Amino acid sequence: MSDTDSAIASTTPQALMGYHELLGMHVVEWEEGRAVVELTIEPKHLNRSGNVHGGVLASMLDSALSLAGLHCDVPGNIRRGMTLSLTTTFVGPAKQGVLRATGTLRGGGQKTFMTSGQIVDERGNLVAMGEGSFRRRSGSESSQGVPDPQLREPSE
């Protein structure tokens, strides 16, 4: 892990959790209006044809697209959202290497926002693209976000 990756990981512990970690996704860039998620292809990501499973690609797009509208600069705070719709178009196969999903905020308001993005392989070949509509949860409308409950001190 590079110094940049370490800095991103230490400032965005709330970005991806659980299911995302299970798949092996991690955030490599995250700023207002844009997010980039990467995944190193492993045998567990492949379908019976030896290509990355469409569900893995859809998950990567869902994560990158949603994060593009949920950035928060306040340390210890978080913005949460939920997917309203996600359209995924599979363009080409991926079998090995690193996949990079980039999501970009396209519009919306305080509660609902729209994003688009793509996944490319390490050679820059387009693998999938998508569009999504998302809703920010209560308290996440402001770029200030809300305190992340996972960072609270344990009660005595």
Residues 69 and 90: their CA atoms lie apart, in Å, by 23
| Planar angle of CA 50, 28, 125, nearest 5 degrees | 40
Whether residue 98 contacts residue 40, with contact meaning beta carbons closer than 8 Å, is answered with yes
Local mean pLDDT, 10-residue blocks, the chain (156 residues):
40 66 94 97 97 98 97 92 98 97 97 98 97 96 89 57
List the structure tokens of 129. 């693209």
Dmax over CA atoms of the chain, in Å, equals 54
Residues 143 and 69: their CA atoms lie apart, in Å, by 9
